């Protein structure tokens, strides 16, 4: 396809990256986003997803804005509840010809992608969503919440795990399901705190902490094995305090000194969905979490969204029409993301039920090997 226009519903990682890739392919993009500014937490990009950042033209900016994973950061020490080192933490393999993995502040990634999308010519509209949507064999008609009506050659649903676009296209599709664990992300304004790494063996769950030098923040990812619930900040504080009390490791005891009543916690249930293929009907395609949300156990959720965007741009450039492009996209993406979604769920179950550590590492290693292949 050459030229044309597209509506991208969702201005998160998948949507902004798609806007960049499609603009580069000659498609004029309108991006609409109803949500607010991304909440701050750390995000990791590794493996082939770094190549996707490079193809989008933003890898160097992300590298400068983040923290490169050194060999030590790639597999930080894993400790038991007493602080004894019991091995290396979850590792990110070095893949042949892949660029160096990085960790960066999520709002920084959003800003970099947004700036590049605008630079490439995309139009971005904040506080806007779809009011009426007609997906048909010739294209897409959309009436937006600001009463704007416009015709598009195709639309991309990049509106996240609770996608309204998915509901419109596939009303019978399964809903995202709870994996059995809650994620709490705690950001501490601080210089590095001694003892960073992963700590397991607490009665409620596990945690880690790592310094982010650009923002001078310590990032504390926490995973709790608890029933699904909507946590207030006060409830999150109580749960984090209870978790820290189950550890006698000196580093965790020291970490508790930073826990305050006004600490800010980002609380999310680990939910997952893998939409059966195809992810499109007529001229509308779902990508990113709208089609394949995953738990964080492989650290590949954002990476798969970035890969989606780059592959979509390639397919649009190669195909004669949108149906050919979407079919080619599905051929290249489905099995790859299924590996990530299904393996991540299996790893979550291992953590909850005390599965064999060697089997856990084998599951993760096999999945990483599979997705080490070029996208």
Tens of pLDDT, residue by residue over 119-176, are 999 999 999 999 999 999 899 999 999 999 999 999 999 999 999 999 999 999 999 9
User: 171 and 316 in one domain?
Assistant: yes
pLDDT the model gives residue 92: 59
**41/118 same-domain check:** yes
SS3 187: strand
CATH of the domain at 212: 3.30.9.30
Which band of pLDDT confidence, cut at 50, 70 and 90, is reported for residue 366?
very high
End-to-end Cα spacing for the chain = 21
Does the residue 199 lie in any domain?
Answer: yes
What b-and-e string marks burial along 306-337, b requiring 16 or more CB atoms within 10 Å of the CB?
Answer: bbbbbbbbbbbbebeebeebbebbbebbbebb
Distance CA 74, CA 66 (A): 14
Q: Are 161 and 20 members of one domain?
A: yes
- Starting at the edge strand found earlier in the chain, the sheet holding 67-68 runs 42-45, 102-105, 67-68
Whether cis (ω within 30° of 0) applies to the bond prior to 278 is yes
Q: How many separate helices (H) and strands (E) can be counted in the chain?
A: 12, 19
Q: Which of 220, 255, 270 is the last residue of a domain?
A: 270
pLDDT mean across residues, the chain = 92
- Does residue 56 share a domain with residue 12? yes
Domain presence at residue 80: no
Q: Are residues 333 and 188 in the same domain?
A: no
Cβ-contact 38, 15 below 8 angstroms: no
d(CA 292, CA 280): 13
Parent domain of 224? 179-270
- For residue 12 the two structure tokens come to 């998160």
Write the DSSP string, 189-212.
Answer: E-S--TT-EEE---SSEEEEEEEE
Same domain (yes/no): 28, 125: yes
Same domain (yes/no): 170, 183: no
Picking from 210, 239, 270, the residue at the C-terminal end of a domain is 270
User: By C-alpha distance, which of 132, 293, 273, 259 is closest to 187?
Assistant: 259
Q: What's phi and psi for 2, nearest 5 deg? A: -130, 135
Say whether both 335 and 204 belong to one domain. no
Residue 259: is it exposed, middle or buried by C-beta count within 10 angstroms (0-12/13-18/19+)? middle
- Evaluate whether residue 24 is within a structural domain: yes
Whether residues 171 and 199 share a domain: the answer is no
- Domain shared by 191 and 334, yes or no: no
Helix (H) or strand (E) holding 325: helix 322-353
Taking the C-alpha atoms of residue 297 and residue 17, their distance in angstroms, rounded to an integer, is: 23
The tens digit of pLDDT for each residue in 35-73 reads 876 667 889 898 899 999 999 999 999 999 998 775 445
Q: Is residue 149 part of a domain?
A: yes
Say what the pLDDT of residue 357 is.
Answer: 78
In the chain, the number of structural domains is 2
User: What is the residue whose two structure tokens read 């050459």?
Assistant: 2
pLDDT tens sequence across 104-115: 999 999 999 999
Mean pLDDT to the nearest integer, 339-366: 90
Higher pLDDT, 93 or 369: 369
Q: What is the dihedral of CA 351, 300, 337, 184, to 10 degrees?
A: 50
Q: What's residue 71's pLDDT?
A: 47
In a domain? residue 82 = no
Quote the CA–CA distance of 41 and 311 in Å, as a whole number. 27
Is position 84 within any domain?
A: no
77 domain residue, yes or no: no
Domain final position from 242, 270, 298: 270
Residue 272 CA to its chain's centroid (Å): 12
pLDDT (0 to 100) of residue 39: 67
Domain holding 97: CATH number? 3.50.50.60
CA separation for the pair 218, 257 (Å, rounded):
13
Q: For residues 307, 111, 300 and 171, what is the CA-based torsion angle, rounded to 10 degrees? A: -70
Q: Would you call 142 helix, strand, or coil by DSSP?
A: strand
Rounded-to-integer distance, Cα 79 and Cα 207, Å = 10
Strand partners, 272: 177
Residues 151 and 140 sit within 8 Å (Cβ to Cβ): yes
In a domain? residue 83: no
Structure tokens at 352: 């909850």
Residues of the chain with pLDDT > 90, as a percent, come to 77
pLDDT tens sequence across 188-244: 999 999 998 888 887 889 999 988 888 899 999 999 999 999 999 999 999 999 999
Q: Are residues 149 and 45 in the same domain?
A: yes
161 lies in the same domain as 44? yes
| pLDDT score recorded for residue 302 | 96
Residue 337, pLDDT score: 98
Task: For residues 124 and 147, give the distance between their C-alpha atoms in angstroms, rounded to a whole number.
Answer: 16
């Amino acid at each position: 396809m050459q030229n044309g226009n597209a509506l991208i519903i969702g201005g998160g990682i998948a949507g902004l990256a798609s806007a960049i890739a499609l603009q580069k392919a000659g498609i004029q993009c309108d991006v609409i986003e109803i949500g607010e500014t991304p909440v701050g937490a750390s995000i990791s990009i590794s493996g082939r997803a770094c190549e996707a950042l490079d193809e989008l033209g933003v890898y160097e900016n992300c590298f400068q804005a983040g923290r490169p994973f050194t060999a030590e950061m790639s597999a930080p020490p894993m400790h038991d509840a007493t602080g004894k080192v019991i091995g290396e933490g979850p590792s990110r393999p070095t893949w042949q010809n892949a660029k160096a993995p990085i960790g960066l502040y999520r709002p920084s990634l959003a800003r970099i992608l947004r700036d590049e999308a605008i630079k490439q010519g995309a139009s971005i509209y904040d506080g806007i969503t779809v009011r009426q949507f007609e997906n048909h064999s010739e294209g897409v008609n959309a009436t937006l919440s600001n009463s704007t009506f416009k015709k598009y050659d195709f639309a991309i649903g990049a509106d996240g795990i609770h996608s309204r676009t998915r509901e419109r296209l596939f009303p019978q599709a399964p809903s995202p399901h709870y994996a059995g664990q809650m994620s709490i992300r705690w950001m501490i304004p601080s210089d590095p705190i001694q003892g960073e790494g992963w700590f397991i063996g607490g009665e409620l769950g596990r945690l880690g902490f790592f310094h982010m030098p650009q923002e001078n923040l310590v990032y504390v990812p926490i995973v709790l094995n608890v029933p699904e619930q909507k946590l207030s900040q006060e409830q999150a504080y109580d749960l984090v305090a209870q978790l820290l009390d189950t550890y006698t490791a000196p580093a965790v005891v020291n970490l508790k000194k930073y826990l305050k009543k006004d600490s800010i916690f980002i609380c999310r249930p680990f939910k997952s969905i893998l939409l059966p293929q195809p992810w499109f009907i007529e001229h509308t395609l779902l990508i990113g979490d709208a089609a394949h949300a995953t738990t964080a156990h492989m650290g590949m959720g954002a990476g798969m969204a970035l890969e989606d965007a780059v592959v979509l741009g390639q397919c649009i450039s190669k195909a004669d029409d949108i149906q050919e492009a979407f079919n080619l996209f599905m051929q290249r993406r489905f099995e790859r993301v299924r590996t990530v979604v299904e393996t991540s769920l299996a790893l979550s179950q291992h953590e909850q039920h005390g599965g064999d550590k060697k089997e856990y590492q084998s599951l993760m290693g096999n999945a990483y090997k599979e997705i080490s292949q070029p996208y």
